[in-house]
Amino acid sequence: VDADEALTYAPKLGVKIARGIFETMRITSVMVGGALVAAVILTIIALLGVPGGPASPAGGFLASVGLALLTSGVVMMVAGAVAAGLAVIAKWVFVGRISPGDHPLWSSFIWRGEVADCFVELVAAPWFTRNAVGTPAIVWYLRAMGARIGHGVWCESYWLPEADLVRL
Per residue of the chain (168 residues), what is the pLDDT tens digit? 566 777 777 888 988 898 899 889 899 999 999 999 999 999 988 888 765 444 455 556 677 777 888 889 999 999 999 999 999 999 999 999 999 988 877 888 989 999 999 999 999 999 999 999 999 999 999 999 999 999 988 889 988 888 999 999
Q: Give the distance from CA 58 to its chain's centroid.
A: 40
How many angstroms from the chain centroid is the CA of residue 21? 20
Residue 39's SS3 state is helix
Does residue 47 contact residue 108 with C-beta atoms inside 8 Å?
A: no
Give the C-alpha separation, 98 to 94, whole Å: 11
pLDDT of residue 76: 95
What is the predicted pLDDT for the residue at 60? 66
Question: By C-alpha distance, which of 41, 32, 43 is closest to 121?
Answer: 32
